[in-house]
Structure 1
Amino acid sequence: MSLPDRAPFTDMSVFLKSVQWPVMPEVGQALIRTLNDEDADTYTICRIIGKDPALTATLLRMANSAMFGLSGTVDTLERAVSVVGMSKVRSRALSVCVAHSCNLPTGIDRLEFWRYSMLCAGYAQWLADLCDVDDQEAWLCGMMLRLGEINLGQARPSSLPQIEAKPIKPGERWLRQRQLVGFDEGEVTAELVQHWDFPEALVQGLRHTAQPLVSNEFRKLSVVLNLAARLAETGPITPEALNELPVILLEMLHLEPTTLLLDAPDADSLADVSAFKV
């Protein structure tokens, strides 16, 4: 791999001066505030989402698709919440707000980007369920993990073709990002969601995704996201994909490849990007 035309950043504060954060819509901001509010209830969530008719319509389409896994017709937000829970509806609503606020730079394939993000989210939720991690926080973080690459592309546009050059082995994108720009997408996404006032646990979970063993504090969420991102890079879960996962990370979560294979979700059902207008 050739060297970048400019030296990689070594100081995050300097890097941040070269990027522009996407603007979270008001509904998204209100939903983020509920993540820090223990008193937020179904009425609160539905009232916030209901202020945006387009978002409401999108969520109802999602509720009647394979994404929610429901049978029958869901025609109101209240019905969707009563069936799948407030946390799931909120995380899906936030994902739509996030996707609509982000403009992908030239050099990133939009369809591939969001399919990867949804697949990472789905795998993160699946793994979280197996190791006592909040599955909806994991889903949302998995969906947002790669957002930092947008800002890496803003700071070093010439690096994107090298970062995205195929083939990309699981975990290799992070290595390329650090080599070419100085930081990986998880570190930058952490700065973004901190700017958006997401809970600190999610910020730190994202920050240490690529290198979960470097952190002074063991964070299950970071390990879950690391494994989910690696699996999303390969697509459908196969014995080969599971065997390539870092053994030490699997052991930290008490997971076995053979057991995971028996319980693996269908990749196609997880990677529905229709709500993102790809």
Structure 2
Amino acid sequence: MSVESLFNNVYNLPSIPKVVQELTESFGSDKANADEIANKIAKDQAFAAKVLRLANSARYGVGRKIASISNAVVLLGISQLRTLVTASGMTSAFVDVPGLDKRQFWKDTFNVASLCKMLGKHAKVDREVAFTCGMMHSIGELLIHMGEPDKASKIDTLVAHGGNRVELQENMLGYHYADVGVELARRWKFPEEIQEAIRGQIRPMEGGFSPYAALIYIATYINECDKKGQSEEEQMAHFPMELAKKLNLDLSKVFDDWTTLKSEEDDIDALLS
């Protein structure tokens, strides 16, 4: 089976609010008009309400009530607003996915995205692009569950018993979640650098090097280690050092920042409400 066939099997292809596409297209540009963006978000009342819930959550709240999108621009800034809009848009696109623990999926995704953004600061790359790459990194998994629910369920069971997800998907489907994610990013008209990051995340040292693919790989590694309850020392024992060197990461500072980030609430309920 091909990725194209999978997309044909998905009855309703998920779409994201137009403002999310426009924001991703404006990454790296200083021409983004905050008032114009705020007005576009406000036109979609349900989406605007979701963005505001996240803006007022524990991690992003500024100690006072943010009552409007315009207010969020003033108090949080355009960069932070981009993060909130991207996260809200991604979770809004997928309402219900059969056979998937939606809360755990988005918790992992948001953790990886937050890690990518934090790592992006240390790697001196665009942090909002890094966050978006993190939010998109496993989005293909959702489409696999939507288009091939039976096979996806079997693969999940095998992974739970120690199987390698990428190898199992390649064997049973002929492609893996990153292949699907790249195609969705292309259809959503996301920038090429985000598509390249999703494509290269499995083996970031092969082919043309994408710093954002390397960020996804490292962020996923740290998140998985944390889920297993590994200490910093245990994580360092198998840390992808070659990638860390490529990105000029100071790992002591990285782990200090991650400790701080973990101490904050994850805001997953605000994202999914």
Q: TM-score range by the shorter chain?
A: 0.7 to 0.9
Decide whether the 8 Å contact of 1:67 with 1:269 is kept in 2. yes
Decide whether the 8 Å contact of 1:119 with 1:270 is kept in 2. no
| Inter-partner Cα distance in structure 1 for 2:243 and 2:219 | 11
| Inter-partner Cα distance in structure 2 for 1:270 and 1:181 | 37
Aligned AA (2:79): S
Aligned AA (1:29): K
Match of 1:219 in 2: 210
Match of 1:6 in 2: none
Q: Give TM-score scaled by structure 2 length.
A: 0.84
Aligned AA (1:272): D
| Inter-partner Cα distance in structure 2 for 1:270 and 1:192 | 30
| Inter-partner Cα distance in structure 2 for 1:113 and 1:129 | 25
Shift in Å, 1:127: 0.6
Q: For structure 1, list consecutive stretches of 5 or more residues without a partner in the other structure.
A: 1-8
Shift in Å, 1:193: 1.4
2:266 matched to 1:275? no
Look up the SS of the partner of 1:210 in the other structure.
coil
Shift in Å, 1:268: 5.8
Match of 1:50 in 2: 42
Look up the SS of the partner of 2:105 in the other structure.
helix
Match of 1:255 in 2: 249
1:83 to 75, 83, 86: 75
Match of 1:5 in 2: none
Shift in Å, 1:153: 2.3
Aligned AA (2:181): T
Structure number with higher helix proportion: 2
Match of 2:14 in 1: 23
| Inter-partner Cα distance in structure 2 for 1:70 and 1:175 | 44
Match of 2:169 in 1: 177
Shift in Å, 1:242: 4.0
Shift in Å, 1:30: 3.2
Decide whether the 8 Å contact of 1:194 with 1:203 is kept in 2. yes
Identical-residue share of aligned pairs (%):
23
Say how many residue pairs are matched: 265
RMSD (Å) for aligned C-alpha atoms:
2.6
Deviates more, 1:224-233 or 1:249-258: 249-258
Shift in Å, 1:69: 5.0
2:231 to 231, 238, 258: 238
Decide whether the 8 Å contact of 1:122 with 1:270 is kept in 2. no
Aligned AA (1:261): F
Provide Cα deviations, 1:48-91, integer angstroms capped at 9, x if missing partner.
Answer: 10102222222222222223152333223223222332132133
Q: Describe how 1:32-111 pairs up with structure 2 within 5 A.
A: 32-37=21-26, 38=29, 39-111=31-103
Q: For structure 2, list consecutive stretches of 5 or more residues without a partner in the other structure.
A: none
Decide whether the 8 Å contact of 1:137 with 1:202 is kept in 2. yes
